[in-house]
Structure 1
Amino acid sequence: MRGPLFYAKILLFGEYGIIKDSKGLAIPYNSYQGALKLSKEPNELAKSSNQKLKNYLSYLKTLQYEGLLLRLDELEKDIEDGMYFDSSIPQGYGVGSSGALVAAIYDKYADQKITVLENLTRDKLLKLKGIFSLMESHFHGKSSGLDPLNSYLSLPILINSKDNIEPTGIPSQKEGKGAVFLLDSEIIGETEPMVNIFMNKMKNEGFRKMIDEDFAKITDVCIHDFLNGDAKSLFKNVKKLSKVVLKHFKPMIPDSFHHIWQEGIKTNDYYLKLCGSGGGGYILGFTKDYEKTKEILKAHKLELVYRF
């Protein structure tokens, strides 16, 4: 048995903002993927994954949600037979490792499932998002459901608000010098503690005002620029976003990257932003000259996501 592949995702824009109902843009990232597999001779990784699936099954048995009909007996039998999730998606890196697993389980074991082939109305998307939110909460304490949704549909998704999401097209990649890239912090991040820091900060009126008046507005403009292929305006606004994040989200940026972050803003060679909740994992970068940035950041691992 080898299930279909489910890809990683990158939240290009909207980290934390989507918690407070502002815009977000998520895209599939096909460099990493996972699939459900059965193995007669499992290695240690497969055994570890199988045990995690057993724990996850216990959680799924507690779920009661309208529209979520999972064939748990079949899932249990497959887990007993040694099924595991064979994944290259790094965990704790903000690229949707648990989302891909949730998408794979739903795809294989859900009855009356909503499929990618049907007309995806807003109601259907919201229903899927609600199902995935519950299914993924086992891994993060609380989930928006967007990671599994992105992985399941394998389409870019525009989040206008909690109740307004839609598949979207993104401009074709060009063979230009500019790029979106991932910078590997080589630190494993944990979502829950970072979200807790954010929620505590939200108790502060000044921070809430900054989110509404600065962070959310700049994020919305960045999404508009990206979807419209306006690279010149995008870089101007990503610089603003990078400054706001460095000033107000410092706990989410690993200490060793504060200087690198500041240097990018100072020199205009590249701009960094959070990829997911932060605290480690990947940092997202934007540059007008990828080759030059690779040279500047040669002490670090970079991965190309998108070309301008």
Structure 2
Amino acid sequence: MRKKFFPAKILLFGEYGVMENSVGISVPHNFYTGSLEFHTKFNKEILYSNYEIKKYYSFLSIIEKKRKNLIKLNLKNFYEDLRKGIFFHSNIPQGYGIGSSGALIAAIYDRYAKKKLKKCLKHAIILKKIFSHMESFFHGKSSGIDPLICYLNIPLLIRSKTNITTIKLPNNNKEKITIFLLNSGFPSKTFSMTKFFLGKLKDNNFRKILKSEFMMYNEKCVESFLKKDFEFLLKNVKNISTWIFNNLRPMIPKTLWKIWEEGILNNRYYLKLCGSGGGGFILGFTSNYEILKNQLRKYATEVVFHF
């Protein structure tokens, strides 16, 4: 079959806030991709991927029966392909917060949806709803944003659950600010991190400061990003980084506590969660990536884009 590649995604702003109907910006990251393929020879990767997708097929079979008018997948063809050894060939690291499951979901929907919705913005809301059900297998309560980004492959501004538009990213060569990924060295346990956050939301005081402080900083980040006001952007990324360090520190890998705090104190870079937290990639912002590379030379970093 013809290979169709689906990209990873990066949620620039809105981590966990989008679950509370806050604003967010998510972009595709085409350095990492995945595609459904049939094996030419067996190896451990292929066998494991096929086995895991079989478990996901069983889950989809159940929700298909419960929500007949929503997803509508050709499960018969899906089952036959699984018997033939279909697998997900991907370089997207699992548990690193950049949408490995989202790319898989997008690929499965694209191949097996009976009445597939086209990859266009006007279908974003219904696609998001479909994907939220499909994604719940991996993360429990899910927004559906990750598979939506991987499927549409365009940057999206999420203003609410029912207000999603595309945006034009700032110029990618001015190098006033660099957004980068920092590798923690181990994957996150997404389900446990999500459970931890939902537990925190049961505390009325935490929910209050989440909405009055964190969401306010997040909205200002989005506003300044869209206006290309980079000085104001960094100021509010620092506020988010500080807020997470003070209020959600268990979601930051302990091995990164020191450099997380150092970035806030020396104002050379700021770190924030990428995905669920607890491991995987960390998202960083800096106005001087060359100095940062030297300062964080013990850690693997990679540029998302300059602007």
Quickly name the TM-score band, shorter chain normalised.
Answer: over 0.9
Q: Which residue of 1 aligns with 2:209?
A: 210
Q: Which residue of 2 aligns with 1:50?
A: 50
**What does 1:214-225 align with in structure 2 at a 5 Å threshold?**
214-225=213-224
Cα separation, 1, equivalents of 2:56 and 2:29:
25
**TM-score, normalisation: structure 2:** 0.96
Per-residue CA deviations over 1:116-156 (Å, capped at 9, x if unaligned) read: 2x5x32xx211100111111111112211110000000011
Q: CA RMSD in A?
A: 1.1
Q: Does residue 1:32 correspond to 2:18, yes or no?
A: no
> Which amino acid in 2 is paired with 1:100?
A
CA contact (8 A) 1:9 1:151 kept: yes
Per-residue CA deviations over 1:62-81 (Å, capped at 9, x if unaligned) read: 12332322111111111100
Per-residue deviation at 1:174?
Answer: 2.2
Q: Percent identity?
A: 46
Q: Does residue 1:167 correspond to 2:166, yes or no?
A: yes
The match for 1:74 among 69, 77, 82 is 77
Cα separation, 1, equivalents of 2:255 and 2:71:
43
CA contact (8 A) 1:177 1:290 kept: no
Q: Which residue of 2 aligns with 1:301?
A: 300
Cα separation, 1, equivalents of 2:95 and 2:231:
32
Q: Does residue 1:274 correspond to 2:273, yes or no?
A: yes
Q: Which residue of 2 aligns with 1:236?
A: 235
**What does 1:1-308 align with in structure 2 at a 5 Å threshold?**
1-64=1-64, 65=67, 66-116=69-119, 118=120, 120-121=121-122, 124-308=123-307
Give 3-state SS (helix, strand or coil) of 1:234's partner.
helix
> Which amino acid in 2 is paired with 1:191?
T
Cα separation, 2, equivalents of 1:144 and 1:176:
32
Cα separation, 2, equivalents of 1:145 and 1:156:
15
Give 3-state SS (helix, strand or coil) of 1:89's partner.
coil
**TM-score, normalisation: structure 1:** 0.96
CA contact (8 A) 1:2 1:35 kept: no
| Ranges in structure 2 where 5+ consecutive residues have no aligned partner | none
Give 3-state SS (helix, strand or coil) of 1:158's partner.
strand
CA contact (8 A) 1:8 1:30 kept: yes
| Ranges in structure 1 where 5+ consecutive residues have no aligned partner | none
> Which amino acid in 1 is paired with 2:7?
Y
> Which amino acid in 2 is paired with 1:35?
S
Cα separation, 2, equivalents of 1:222 and 1:197:
25
Q: How many residues align?
A: 304
Give 3-state SS (helix, strand or coil) of 2:169's partner.
coil
Give 3-state SS (helix, strand or coil) of 2:63's partner.
coil
Quick check: 46-55 or 201-210, which moved more?
201-210
Per-residue deviation at 1:40?
Answer: 2.9
> Which amino acid in 2 is paired with 1:260?
I
Per-residue deviation at 1:48?
Answer: 0.5
> Which amino acid in 2 is paired with 1:77?
E
Per-residue CA deviations over 1:200-229 (Å, capped at 9, x if unaligned) read: 111222211111110001001101111221
Give 3-state SS (helix, strand or coil) of 2:62's partner.
coil
